[in-house]
Amino acid sequence: MSEPGGRPGQYPPWPVPVPPKRSSATAMVLVIGSVVVVVVMVLAFLAFGSPGFLRKPDGQAGGAFWSSSSSSSSPPVAPGPPAAIPGERAPMPKRTRPLADPVTCAFTPDPGPPAPKKAALPPDGPASSTGTAGVQLATTAGDIGLTLDRALAPCTVVNFLSLARQGFYDGTSCHRLSVSTGLQMLQCGDPVGDGTGGPGYTIRDEVFPELTYGRGILAMAKTTAPDSGGSQFFLVFGETNIPPEYTVFGGIDDPGLATLDAIARRGIDPAKPGPGDGSGPPTTPVTITHVTATP
C-alpha cells in the first residue's frame, strides 16, 4: 500500500512542531466575544427563522382522513374547541376541462392482508362521465341523502354504487368526527370501525386543482399514498381547509346536513380514543343500516 508523498508502505515524516505564539489578553477577549455573538445569532435564527426547530411550521392546519391498509390519512389538525358550523352550503367544485365520455376505469386488488369484509371488484372498463345517481344512507342517527356526480369522478361513482349494491356498507359505523376549525366532517365506510379497513382493493384518485371542500361536499378518504382509496368516505358539514388531494364525487342533501349538524353538536366521545388530532368517535353512535341507490 502506498501513501501520498512516501514510499510504498511508509508514511511521510511528521513535520517539526512549531511552538504557538503567545496571545495577548485583549486578543483573547476579542476572540471570545466574537464566538458569543455568533452563537447568539445562530440561536436567534433557529428560534425565529427555522420552522420545526423551536417553533411550529407556519400554516399547520387540516385533518387526516384514513382508509384501507394502514390508517389512512389526509392533513393533521391541531386539537381545539368546537368551531361554529356555517349555515350556507359551499359551491360544488367543477372541472375546468370536462372529462372524456366515457372514461376507462380500473380497480386494483390490495396485495396486503385479506380484507375484513371483502367485496367484489367493480367492473373495469368504460364508465360515463355525465349524469348523476341518487343514494340514501339510512343510519341510526337519521337519513343522509347523497347525489353522486359522474362529471366529477365517474370511476369513484362506479365504485360507491357497486359497494352499496353489494350491501358492503350495511352495518358499518361512521368512526371519525371532527368539529375543529379547518376540519368539520364525519368519516364513514370502514368495516373495521377504526380507520384501517377497506374492501380488498383500491381505486384511482380523480382529483383536479380546482377542488375545494366545504359544507355539503362528499369525498373519498385515502392513505397518504396516491390511488389508495377504497370504501371510506367523508361527509363535510362545515369549514374544511385541506389540499385538493381527495376525490370529490358528490353532494349531501339538506335533510342529510341537518342529521350531520345534530351529530356534530353532540361532539366527540371523550371516553373513546381518537387519533390525537382533535377528531374521534362521535358521541352519537352512527351506524349505516342500509344504502339505497338509484341510477
CATH of the domain at 183: 2.40.100.10
My answer on whether 54 and 112 are in the same domain is: no
Residue 171 lies in a domain: yes
My answer on whether 152 and 279 are in the same domain is: yes
Average pLDDT, the chain: 80
My answer on whether 37 and 168 are in the same domain is: no
CA-nearest of 105, 147, 103 to 129 is 103
Residue 78 lies in a domain: no
**80: amino acid identity, one letter:** G
Q: How many domains does the chain have?
A: 2
Residue 152 lies in a domain: yes
C-alpha–C-alpha distance, residues 90 and 237, integer Å: 9
Is the Cβ–Cβ distance between 202 and 214 less than 8 Å? no
Is the Cβ–Cβ distance between 195 and 175 less than 8 Å? yes
Residue 92 lies in a domain: no
pLDDT band at 189 (very low <50, low <70, confident <90, very high): very high
CA-nearest of 185, 230, 182 to 76 is 182
**63: amino acid identity, one letter:** G
My answer on whether 45 and 134 are in the same domain is: no
Residue 96 lies in a domain: no
My answer on whether 143 and 240 are in the same domain is: yes
pLDDT tens string 118-137: 899 999 999 999 999 999 99
Contacts 24+ apart (CB under 8 A), 97-101: 98/129, 98/151, 99/129, 99/151, 99/154, 100/129, 101/128, 101/129, 101/130
My answer on whether 154 and 290 are in the same domain is: yes
Between 148 and 16, residue with greater pLDDT: 148
My answer on whether 219 and 146 are in the same domain is: yes
Residue 236 lies in a domain: yes
Residue 80 lies in a domain: no
The three cell numbers locating residue 61: 392546519
My answer on whether 227 and 151 are in the same domain is: yes
Q: Domain range spanning residue 278? A: 103-294
pLDDT band at 277 (very low <50, low <70, confident <90, very high): confident
How large is the average pLDDT for residues 161-167? 97
Residue 37's φ and ψ, nearest 5 degrees, are: -60, -45
Residue 69 lies in a domain: no
Stretch among 45-54, 66-75, 111-120, 151-160 having the lowest mean pLDDT: 45-54
My answer on whether 151 and 280 are in the same domain is: yes
My answer on whether 137 and 244 are in the same domain is: yes
My answer on whether 54 and 180 are in the same domain is: no
My answer on whether 48 and 117 are in the same domain is: no
pTM of the model: 0.75
